[in-house]
Amino acid sequence: MNILGISAHYHDSAAALVVDGVPVCAVQEERLSRHKGDSAFPLLAIESCLQHARMDPDELDAVVFYERPMLKFDRVLTCTLRAFPQSWRAFPKAMKNLLGEKVWMRGIVSSHLGVPGRKVLFTEHHQSHAAAAFLTAPTRRAAIMTADAVGEWATLSIGDGERLSNGATKIRRIREIRFPHSLGMLYSTFTAYLGFKVNEDEYKVMGLAAYGKPTRVDDVRRLIRRTPDGAFALDLKYFEFHTTAERSYSSRFVELFGPPRNPYEPIDFNTLEGQRFADCAASVQRVLEDTMVELAQSLHRETGLTDLCLGGGVALNGVANAHLLAESGFDRIFVPPAPGDAGCAIGAALYCDRIHFGNPDRDLPDHPFWGPSVDGSELAQLAREDGHSAAVCEDGALINHVADDLAAGRIVGWMEGALEFGPRALGHRSILAPPHTTEMRDRLNREIKYREPFRPFAPVVPIEAAGRYFDIPPGGARLARFMSGVFPVRREWRSQLRAITHVDGTARLQILEHAMAPRLHKLLEAYGRRTGIPVLLNTSFNLAGEPIVNRAVEGYSTFLRCKIDVLVAGGTRVMKRSSGMERTPVNKMKEEVA
């Protein structure tokens, strides 16, 4: 049975194709359209999925949209009318958005793909999140918690899932919390207040939090109060997101926390103002963590299960996830590589397969690499046309060359195999660099990523060596499989891992098993043999404001526009003519550190 899942029209559209119960392709529209966070109907992603499977649309048994547009319409209409007259400005915009495309989704899907309307199905938004979290995780029975800004009405849901021995699958929702009471909205309101982009820059608030102290926790708690039934409610006088599209926080919010940050001014932690913003970030982060932990503790007590699957955009918060692992009572926590709305495309398709059609349970491959594959020969051709030398070599030689490059202090653009699905580069579209010095971190920020200096870079380490350099609690390696947890760098190694150690001594690390990305695993070992430390800095292969690269041509164009020294795609290695010899070799860097 061929089922296409689609998420679209909010942010980060995506498509996923499930054939006989197993995903065969999943890709975000932005990676193909090259428009970051593309929320358009994902025609390119759909085409890519169908091409990959050599399938025509009429071979699809179902096309599943990741939420129920009429329920969403109901929510927007109800909230707008409730908030009238304050909401009158937002009303035309909301109606235009919904009436323009979303409500008529069946007709739109049907006409775009040429499939009959009866084949177009819908899942609820949080069902899609729950299915993406539970059905892709290697567990047979787990509690499920999903949290985001909002779907149709739900903003947080708790439940459980079970894959039965007879092949049937059950996903049960126990309770949900409804709009406008939303942890995601609380966090996003601070994201906006702190001058970052909502739905995109929430991780910057998490990075900023490490520079502050949670001195405003009591104030944040005035915004969100726990209710006797164990849920929470926002105090709406501090918010405006439910009445207007213009601003998410109210003047009462500003009275409480002070003037919002001007997004065009850098944050200076040496000023009272800069410290105030960092303290606000630390405080909302703390309240988010505490609330998630309390909800998960009660879910643990209620279900008595040992595994928890987490979904929704809030599950991207690696600091909160690490707290959940430590304090919720669950032994194992699974976060999929794409817990946000893009991942709902896979979730919707799998939910439809297992629950709607009742197809038998299947074990799924446990990796994030569901996108198009990179073609090394395309890179070789592009580079040679430009007069760069492009060496094509077999695996062993290539890995030795690249390990030499990294040990010589060079920065490497690394592309191999299928593109990651989800926001994180997990070793197939990564920029790799020596992780030892602050100079390297600053160089990456200044010459390649052009981003705020307070944001940390992530490391990748082979699973065999992770415990030597990082303080990994039981269950931590699973969370770090897709970079979903933040854990301490061991104190004795911090001075040698300065480029990836955050100001609070932690790192959002990826722990790599050989089977998931064998070439990167070999590269880490080869780098370790040269430098004594098999850890690399791993940041997504893109420039600021651009989506992660997909094809060789995008990697090559990025390589030309910034100071990456070496580019690898498949078996092809290209070195910039001007690059490399002047770099500081790693062993020299480490002497300086020592």
Q: What 8-state DSSP symbol labels residue 249?
A: B
Is position 202 an interface residue for Fe ion (rule: CB under 5 A)?
no
Q: How far is the CB of 73 from Fe ion (least distance, A)?
A: 17
Residues 101-130 that bind Fe ion (CB under 5 A): none
> Which of the ranges 38-46, 336-344, 363-371, 530-538 carries the binding residues for Fe ion, by CB under 5 A?
336-344
Q: Are 313 and 338 in contact (CB under 8 A)?
A: no
Sheet of strand 332-334, all strands in order from the earlier edge strand to the far edge: 169-178, 154-163, 141-147, 307-311, 332-334
Can you list the positions of beta strands (E) in 79-153? Answer: 120-122, 141-147
CB atoms within 10 A of CB 513: 15
Binding residues with Fe ion: total (CB under 5 A) = 2
Our CB check for Fe ion shows the closer of 279 and 341 to be 341
Q: Taking CB positions, which residue lies at the least distance from Fe ion?
A: 148
* Binding test (CB under 5 A) with Fe ion, winner from 12, 67, 148, 240: 148
Our CB check for Fe ion shows the closer of 127 and 243 to be 127
Our CB check for Fe ion shows the closer of 133 and 234 to be 133
Residues 504 and 494: their CA atoms lie apart, in Å, by: 11
> Which of the ranges 26-34, 147-155, 293-301, 430-438 carries the binding residues for Fe ion, by CB under 5 A?
147-155
Q: How far is the CB of 182 from Fe ion (least distance, A)?
A: 11
Can you list the positions of beta strands (E) in 195-279? Answer: 224-226, 232-234
Is position 152 an interface residue for Fe ion (rule: CB under 5 A)?
no
What are phi and psi for residue 571, nearest 5 degrees?
-95, 10
Can you list the positions of beta strands (E) in 251-312? Answer: 307-311
Q: How far is the CB of 278 from Fe ion (least distance, A)?
A: 28
> Which of the ranges 143-151, 248-256, 432-440, 476-484 carries the binding residues for Fe ion, by CB under 5 A?
143-151
Q: How far is the CB of 528 from Fe ion (least distance, A)?
A: 39
Q: How far is the CB of 149 from Fe ion (least distance, A)?
A: 7
Q: How far is the CB of 422 from Fe ion (least distance, A)?
A: 13
> Which of the ranges 144-152, 300-308, 511-519, 556-564 carries the binding residues for Fe ion, by CB under 5 A?
144-152
Residues 312 and 184: their CA atoms lie apart, in Å, by: 9
Residues 535-594 that bind Fe ion (CB under 5 A): none
Is position 341 an interface residue for Fe ion (rule: CB under 5 A)?
yes
Our CB check for Fe ion shows the closer of 148 and 565 to be 148
Q: Are 344 and 313 in contact (CB under 8 A)?
A: no
Which amino acid, 267? I
Q: Are 244 and 250 in contact (CB under 8 A)?
A: no
Which is it for the CA torsion 109, 111, 112, 114, positive or negative? positive
Q: Are 585 and 527 in contact (CB under 8 A)?
A: no
Q: Are 499 and 437 in contact (CB under 8 A)?
A: yes
> Which of the ranges 170-178, 294-302, 335-343, 412-420 carries the binding residues for Fe ion, by CB under 5 A?
335-343
Closest alpha carbon to 4 in 61, 53, 54, 74 = 61
Our CB check for Fe ion shows the closer of 148 and 240 to be 148
Where does this chain bind Fe ion (CB under 5 A)? 148, 341
